[in-house]
């Protein structure tokens, strides 16, 4: 999704803005642009495609300045094009970069056309820059104009704004979309997330919804939604500039797949004393909240939704606590009915997913008293909106396709199942069994990663295929869904997942030699039933790849290719069986030559509806 970088300094900010844009590339985008003020003029460069194209443009025709704003655009209103790329400028006086969607842009456009403003793009953003320009004519400066203009905007925005009338002020504001201020020594920067600014600072101010900041090199003033000057804390980030480096890996995604043993050990670290989960890991009043809840409602999108689906099986099977799950974008508009004392559990890697945030707010409106976020970004909006929080501690995830974020979500969700399950039907013996399985996870995943070469060879069968089916049962049905999502996201092969028992109710009609069928077959009570489903496919000429427990693996069927997965405890096996599916998707994408880390049309952080 769109990325914003800006800066005000005593040095030329262009190289810093460019580096910041590169560090935001992972969010997904289709064009990039940058503008500076120099000698009472706004200079702008924009380019369709990658940041390196913009960089080449700047090398050929350099611009420089002590104040500037830059942007990577992920098209929502208007196709990807240079004209639609940000910054947008009004009458050579004001320049704006924007992340979010202005919902009343059509109405504002009509009014502004009557006021004589000309439009050079199809974006919703252009109304913002005209509105600010218009307000400047009746106010005493840029800050007052911005305050007046944003009152007219409906929707979500993070904005970076500058004007030749006040070339020593950079304005940053946010409502609904994230924006941070990086605090340097005698210089300030703004960005959509901290990763963009790590080479210049590790000190950040996280703007709150409705904040407007007026930033000069001497300091900054932040006004809250009630126009009161407020002080926001400066937070020291633990991340370093190289925390988001690819190292020796060809892609971030591969690096992140291999980081999973460490990420999971981090997710468990310090949360147990004498092998007993400490409930204060969820927040100081967690025990009190858990004592009161009678049901769980999980809300999430995409991969995080799949993690929630696995958790629902766990909550109901292990803890016997009623649990619902819904895709956040549906929940927020469905008029759902929440049972009293329901704990709302949101799951999100970024903590900025607009639909998940809105669903949480909707649940609160419906009377939900308790909320808990499973999240990877401590300073995110979701974390701030939730009563309780359990951080996944996966570390920065750059590849658009979630990998370590997913498996750490599962590990932390299991901690939640334990904490809540204790109050329901989870016995001490089962809790201890799950705990020791959790601690065995890093070692098990290390072993599964050794399947990499075998899976790489298997991937060759897929590269020419148009479609694939993924099958699983029980907790492994959502894992099949996650495998299918990974494959379609990065290889662009159409992939669908089904609970294997559902095959004969329709999808069996698709089976032929051109339809690879990937099956997740751990050693559990559903294995015999799954074997029957495998037979149904094989009998119809389907080509199966079956990820199966090493102790059971055997097949005399030429249509069935078995990959032996190390033996693993029942409860954690969905986490372990995820890894080979991630590797499969990765290798297929590499063979197909797609942009693995930044697949087409997708964004890492989906901050608009």
Could you give the residue numbers annotated as active site?
2, 604
Quick one: 358 or 534, whose CB is closer to ligand AGP?
A: 358
Residue 177 lies near ligand AGP (rule: CB under 6 A): no
The residue (of 385 and 431) whose beta carbon lies closer to ligand AGP is 385
Selected from 31, 177, 265, 348, the binder of ligand AGP by CB under 6 A is 348
Shortest distance, CB of residue 236 to ligand AGP, whole angstroms? 24
- Cα-Cα-Cα-Cα torsion 592, 596, 598, 599, nearest 10 degrees, comes to 40
Minimum CB separation of residue 64 from ligand AGP in Å reads 36
Contact by Cβ (8 Å): 580, 448: yes
Beta bridge partners of residue 563, listed in sequence order: 547
Q: In whole angstroms, how close is the CB of 599 to ligand AGP at the nearest point?
A: 8
* Interaction of residue 543 with ligand AGP, rule CB under 6 A: no
Select the residue whose beta carbon is closest to ligand AGP and give its number: 302
* Identity of the residue, 391 or 401, whose beta carbon is nearer to ligand AGP in the bound complex: 401
- 72 touches ligand AGP by CB under 6 A: no
578 belongs to the binding site for ligand AGP (CB under 6 A):
no
Checking phi first, is residue 601 left (phi over 0); if not, alpha (psi -120 to 50) or beta? Answer: left
Work out whether 99 is an interface residue with ligand AGP (CB under 6 A). Answer: no
Least distance to ligand AGP, CB of residue 581, Å = 12
Beta pairing, strands 560-565 & 543-549: parallel
Q: Order of strands across the sheet with 219-223? A: 88-90, 94-102, 155-163, 170-175, 212-216, 219-223, 229-230
Q: Stretches 38-46, 219-227, 298-306, 424-432: which one binds ligand AGP (CB under 6 A)?
A: 298-306
Q: Tell me which residue has tokens 């389907």.
A: 542
Pick out residues in 351-390 that bind ligand AGP (CB under 6 A): 353, 356
Work out whether 598 is an interface residue with ligand AGP (CB under 6 A).
no
Closest-CA residue to 108 (of 131, 77, 138, 139): 131
Comparing CB distances to ligand AGP, the nearer of 96 and 298 is 298
Stretch that binds ligand AGP, among 296-304, 332-340, 423-431, 543-551 (CB under 6 A): 296-304
Contact (CB, 8 A) for 579 and 475: no
- The pair phi, psi for residue 421, each rounded to 5°, is -60, -35
* 491 near ligand AGP, judged by CB under 6 A: no
**Rule CB under 6 A: is residue 304 a binding residue for ligand AGP?**
yes
CB-wise, 1 or 534, nearer to ligand AGP? 1
Token pair belonging to 142: 């840029």
Q: How far is the CB of 396 from ligand AGP (least distance, A)?
A: 12
Distances (CA, A) of 361 to 101, 364, 381: 19, 5, 11
Closest CB 414 distance from ligand AGP, rounded Å: 18
Specify the residue, 400 or 546, whose C-beta has the smaller distance to ligand AGP: 400
CB of 355 to ligand AGP, least distance (A): 8
- Secondary structure of the chain: what % helix, strand, coil (to 5)? 40, 25, 40
Residues 6+ apart with CB under 8 A from 125: 77, 86, 88, 96, 98, 102
349/573 with CB nearer ligand AGP? 349
Number of residues in contact with ligand AGP under rule CB under 6 A: 14
Which residue bears the tokens 């599962």?
A: 410
* C-alpha atoms less than 13 angstroms from C-alpha of 429 in its C-beta half-sphere: 0
Cα 159-78-352 angle, rounded to 5 deg: 45
Q: Torsions phi, psi of 404, nearest 5?
A: -65, -25
Residue 309 binds to ligand AGP (criterion: CB under 6 A) = no
597: contact with ligand AGP by CB under 6 A: no
CB of 304 or CB of 412, closer to ligand AGP: 304
Nearest distance, CB of residue 589 and ligand AGP, angstroms:
12
Binding mask 390-429 for ligand AGP (x = CB under 6 A): ----------xxx---------------------------
**Cα dist from 598 to 5, 46, 191, 386, 401, whole Å:** 19, 20, 19, 30, 8
Q: Of the candidates 78, 119, 122, 127, which has an alpha carbon nearest to the alpha carbon of residue 98?
A: 127
Could you tell me the smallest distance in angstroms from the CB atom of residue 494 to ligand AGP?
16
Sign of CA dihedral 25, 36, 197, 203: negative
Q: Say whether residue 349 binds ligand AGP (CB under 6 A).
A: yes
Q: How far is CA 3 from the centre of its chain?
A: 13
Choose the binding region for ligand AGP from 213-221, 344-352, 362-370, 533-541 (rule: CB under 6 A).
Answer: 344-352
Does position 301 bind ligand AGP by CB under 6 A?
yes
Smallest gap from Cβ 595 to ligand AGP, in A, equals 13
Question: Do the beta carbons of residue 487 and residue 585 sit within 8 Å?
Answer: yes
Nearer CB in complex with ligand AGP: 348/538: 348
User: With respect to ligand AGP, which residue has the nearer C-beta, 48 or 596?
Assistant: 596
Q: Give me the sheet containing 494-499, strands edge to edge.
A: 494-499, 467-472, 516-521, 543-549, 560-565
581 part of the interface to ligand AGP, by CB under 6 A: no
Q: Is residue 220 a contact point for ligand AGP (CB under 6 A)?
A: no
Interacting stretch for ligand AGP, rule CB under 6 A, among 140-148, 187-195, 295-303, 525-533?
295-303
CB of 188 to ligand AGP, least distance (A): 27
112 vs 119: CA distance, rounded Å = 9
Judged by CB under 6 A, the residue of 575, 606, 607, 608 near ligand AGP is 606
Q: Is 302 in the site for ligand AGP (CB under 6 A)?
A: yes
Q: Which stretch binds ligand AGP (CB under 6 A): 127-135, 301-309, 512-520, 587-595?
A: 301-309
Give the CA count within 13 Å in the CB-facing half-sphere of 358: 21
For ligand AGP, the closer CB: 89 or 375: 375
Q: How many residues does the chain have?
A: 609
One residue of 163, 350, 412, 607 binding ligand AGP per CB under 6 A: 350
DSSP state of 243: G
Q: Does 489 bind ligand AGP (CB under 6 A)?
A: yes
DSSP-assigned letter for residue 434:
H
3-state secondary structure 255-282: HHHHCHHHHHHHHHCCCEECCEECHHHH
- CB 27, CB 192: distance < 8 Å: yes
Applying CB under 6 A, the residues found at the interface with ligand AGP are 301-304, 348-350, 353, 356, 400-402, 489, 606
């Amino acid at each position: 999704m769109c990325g914003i970088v800006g800066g005000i300094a005593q040095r030329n900010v262009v190289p810093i803005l460019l580096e910041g844009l590169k560090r935001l590339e992972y969010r997904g985008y289709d064009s990039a642009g940058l503008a500076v003020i120099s000698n009472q003029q706004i200079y702008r460069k924009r380019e369709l495609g990658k940041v390196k194209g913009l960089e080449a443009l700047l090398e050929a025709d350099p611009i420089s300045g002590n104040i500037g704003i830059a942007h990577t655009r992920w098209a929502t209103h208007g196709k990807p094009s240079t004209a639609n790329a940000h910054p947008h400028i009004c009458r050579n006086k004001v320049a704006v970069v924007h992340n979010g969607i202005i919902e009343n842009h059509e109405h504002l456009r009509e009014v502004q056309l009557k006021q004589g403003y000309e439009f050079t793009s199809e974006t919703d953003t252009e109304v913002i820059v005209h509105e600010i320009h218009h307000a400047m004519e009746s106010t005493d400066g840029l800050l007052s104009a911005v305050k007046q203009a944003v009152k007219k905007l409906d929707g979500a925005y993070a904005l970076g704004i500058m004007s030749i009338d006040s070339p020593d002020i950079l304005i940053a504001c946010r409502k609904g979309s994230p924006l941070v201020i990086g605090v340097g020594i005698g210089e300030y920067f703004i960005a959509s997330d901290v990763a963009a600014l790590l080479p210049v600072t590790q000190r950040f101010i996280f703007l709150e919804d409705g904040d407007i900041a007026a930033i000069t090199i001497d300091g900054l003033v932040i006004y809250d939604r009630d126009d009161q000057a407020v002080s926001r804390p400066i937070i020291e980030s633990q991340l370093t500039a190289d925390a988001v480096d690819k190292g020796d890996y060809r892609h971030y995604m591969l690096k992140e797949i291999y980081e999973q043993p460490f990420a999971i050990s981090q997710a468990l670290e310090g949360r147990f004393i004498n092998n007993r989960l400490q409930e204060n890991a969820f927040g100081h009043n967690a025990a009190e909240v858990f004592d009161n809840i009678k049901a769980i409602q999980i809300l999430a999108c995409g991969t995080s939704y799949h993690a929630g689906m696995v958790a629902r099986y766990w909550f109901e099977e292990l803890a016997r606590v009623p649990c619902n799950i819904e895709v956040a974008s549906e929940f927020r508009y469905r008029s759902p009915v929440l049972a009293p004392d329901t704990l709302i559990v949101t799951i999100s890697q970024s903590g900025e997913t607009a639909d998940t945030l809105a669903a949480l707010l909707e649940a609160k409106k419906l009377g939900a008293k308790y909320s808990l976020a499973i999240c990877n970004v401590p300073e995110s909006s979701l974390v701030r909106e939730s009563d309780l929080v359990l951080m996944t501690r996966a570390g920065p995830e750059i590849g658009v396709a979630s990998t370590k974020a997913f498996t750490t979500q599962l590990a932390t969700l299991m901690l939640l199942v334990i904490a809540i399950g204790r109050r329901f039907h989870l016995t001490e013996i089962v809790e201890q069994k799950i705990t020791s399985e959790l601690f065995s996870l890093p070692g098990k995943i290390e072993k599964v990663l050794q399947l990499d070469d075998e899976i790489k060879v298997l991937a060759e069968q897929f590269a020419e295929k148009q479609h694939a089916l993924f099958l699983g049962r029980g907790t492994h049905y959502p894992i099949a869904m996650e495998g299918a999502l990974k494959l379609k996201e990065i290889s662009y092969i159409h992939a669908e997942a089904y609970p294997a028992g559902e095959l004969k109710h329709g999808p069996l009609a698709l089976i032929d030699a051109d339809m690879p069928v990937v099956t997740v077959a751990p050693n559990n009570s559903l294995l015999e039933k799954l074997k029957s489903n495998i037979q149904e496919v094989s009998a119809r000429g389907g080509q199966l790849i079956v990820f199966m427990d090493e102790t059971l693996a055997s097949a005399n069927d030429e249509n069935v290719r078995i990959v032996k997965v190390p033996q693993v405890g029942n409860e954690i096996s969905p986490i372990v069986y995820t890894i080979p599916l991630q590797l499969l998707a990765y290798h297929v994408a590499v063979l197909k030559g797609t942009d693995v880390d930044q697949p087409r049309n997708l964004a890492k952080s989906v901050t608009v509806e």
